[in-house]
């Protein structure tokens, strides 16, 4: 009735109305995708173009590595990795030391199958032309060396275990904080591995010296040694009475050793008292040796970790990553192909989305203008 022009105008209005309803949703989707692309682009490492930029980035990485290791290995904080127990450094190292302590024999180890025969044999082999009631110092030190030798491998094993763990943790933190700079990964792992080897060698030397010191002399200022020895020696009369009186049973019970067979000792009456005295001294002294080996290793490890995290790791990494004539810094300026491709893709995406947003805005403006006519 009103003609084709009116129909065309009406259809145009309907189409504009439909498009106008869809445009806000389109704009929202464009904005969301634009924000995601911008966020991803901003999270990428700075495109290093100068040596100054590369140095700043390296210093930042080293600072982050140090902070993470201080938390995990010194302060015992694990808020960065609450669900990964393997990274809770202080707890894991404490477990290693506790296991080491548990493996050390609580009682003085002995190699004899018959009670006191180890002491008797050493005394017989150490005898000489001297007064019979003097005990050669070499007897005690020979027996002490035999005891310490049975456990000398344990301190070395625990420090090796600790350094293997620390190396793994340090590499993991370094890779985490330089993940945007793959050109640093190989050199940083090499630096950490070399430094840990040095630290392990120092620890092994410390352990060797610590074991050596235990063999130099029998000494302690701990009053507990004398108290323990005096208490143990109270059973000497019972032992001697059972050995000298052949009518007595050949098995007696001693607090420190439980039930022991003593019939064989009746053939060595002249040295049994001294042999028993030596065994009691070794038994009392053993507690001191174990505590020194545990405390010494623990304090050494804590001190070594502190030196590693606060001083040596950063210096070693700088020496390896920077290198002669700043070669390492120049490598940082060379962006990896994967990173460069991703950055280019995101830049193009951001540019295209911004253009799309402008196009949609122009369409909405025209629709509004046409509606006002």
pLDDT tens track, the chain, 373 positions: 678 887 777 777 677 667 667 777 887 888 889 898 888 878 776 666 677 777 888 889 999 999 999 999 999 998 888 899 999 999 999 999 999 999 999 999 988 889 999 999 998 888 877 777 677 788 999 999 999 999 999 999 999 999 999 999 999 999 999 887 877 888 899 999 999 999 999 999 999 999 999 999 899 999 999 999 999 999 999 999 999 998 889 999 999 899 999 999 999 998 999 999 999 999 999 999 999 999 999 999 999 999 999 999 999 998 888 876 666 666 665 666 777 788 788 889 988 988 888 887 787 777 666 665 5
Whether 262 contacts 251, CB under 8 Å: yes
Distance CA 21, CA 323 (A): 62
- Phi and psi for 260 in degrees, rounded to 5? -130, 150
- Phi and psi for 261 in degrees, rounded to 5? -90, 125
Distance CA 144, CA 279 (A): 10
Whether 288 contacts 222, CB under 8 Å: yes
What's the pLDDT score for residue 372? 57
Residue whose C-alpha is closest to residue 335's, from 324, 343, 346? 343
DSSP conformational letter for 112: -
Q: What pTM value is reported for the model?
A: 0.79
How many residues make up the chain in this entry? Answer: 373
User: Hey, what are 155's tokens?
Assistant: 């301190």
What's the pLDDT score for residue 49? 67
Whether 120 contacts 274, CB under 8 Å: no
Residue whose C-alpha is closest to residue 329's, from 195, 181, 174? 181
What's the pLDDT score for residue 210? 96
Residue whose C-alpha is closest to residue 268's, from 121, 98, 70? 121
What's the pLDDT score for residue 180? 77
Residue whose C-alpha is closest to residue 260's, from 276, 273, 246? 276
Quote the distance between the C-alpha of residue 345 and its chain's center: 40
DSSP states of 288-316: HHHHHHHHHHHHHHHHHHHHIIIIIHHHH
Distance CA 88, CA 75 (A): 10
What's the pLDDT score for residue 167? 97
Alpha helices in the chain (DSSP H): 4-43, 51-69, 89-103, 117-125, 137-149, 153-177, 185-216, 223-233, 236-244, 269-307, 313-322, 327-333, 337-372
Whether 181 contacts 332, CB under 8 Å: yes
Residue 112's Cβ-side half-sphere holds a number of Cα atoms within 13 Å equal to 16
Whether 103 contacts 152, CB under 8 Å: no
What's the pLDDT score for residue 344? 83
Whether 297 contacts 156, CB under 8 Å: no
What's the pLDDT score for residue 184? 82
Residue 128's Cβ-side half-sphere holds a number of Cα atoms within 13 Å equal to 8
Distance CA 146, CA 275 (A): 16
Residue whose C-alpha is closest to residue 104's, from 296, 289, 298, 301? 289
């Amino acid at each position: 009735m009103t003609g084709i022009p009116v129909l065309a105008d009406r259809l145009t209005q309907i189409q504009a109305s439909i498009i106008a309803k869809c445009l806000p949703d389109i704009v929202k989707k464009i904005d969301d995708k634009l924000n995601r692309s911008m966020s991803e682009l901003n999270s990428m490492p700075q495109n290093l173009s100068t040596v100054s930029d590369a140095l700043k980035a390296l210093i930042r990485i080293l600072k982050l590595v140090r902070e993470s290791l201080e938390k995990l290995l010194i302060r015992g904080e694990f808020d960065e990795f609450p669900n990964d127990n393997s990274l809770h450094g202080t707890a894991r190292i404490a477990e290693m030391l506790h296991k080491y302590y548990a493996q050390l024999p609580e009682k003085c180890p002995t190699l004899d199958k018959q009670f006191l025969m180890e002491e008797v044999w050493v005394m017989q082999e150490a005898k000489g032309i001297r007064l019979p009631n003097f005990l050669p110092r070499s007897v005690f030190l020979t027996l002490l060396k035999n005891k310490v030798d049975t456990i000398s491998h344990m301190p070395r094993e625990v420090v090796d275990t600790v350094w293997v763990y620390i190396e793994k943790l340090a590499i993991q933190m370094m890779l985490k904080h330089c993940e945007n700079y793959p050109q640093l990964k190989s050199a940083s792992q090499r630096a950490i591995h070399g430094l840990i080897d040095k630290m392990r060698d120092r620890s092994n030397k410390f352990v060797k010296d610590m074991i050596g010191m235990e063999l130099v002399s029998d000494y302690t200022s701990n009053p507990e040694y004398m108290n323990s020895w005096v208490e143990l020696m109270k059973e000497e009369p019972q032992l001697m009475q059972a050995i000298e009186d052949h009518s007595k049973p050949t098995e007696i019970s001693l607090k420190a050793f439980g039930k022991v067979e003593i019939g064989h000792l009746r053939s060595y009456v002249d040295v049994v008292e001294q042999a028993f005295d030596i065994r009691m001294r070794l038994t009392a002294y053993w507690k001191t040796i174990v505590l020194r080996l545990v405390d010494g290793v623990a304090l050494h490890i804590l001190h070594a970790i502190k030196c590693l995290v606060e001083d040596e790791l950063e210096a070693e990494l700088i020496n390896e990553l920077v290198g002669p004539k700043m070669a390492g810094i120049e490598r940082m300026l060379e962006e990896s192909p994967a990173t460069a491709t991703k950055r280019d893709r995101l830049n193009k995406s951001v540019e295209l989305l911004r253009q799309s947003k402008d196009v949609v805005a122009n369409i909405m403006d025209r629709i509004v203008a046409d509606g006002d006519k």
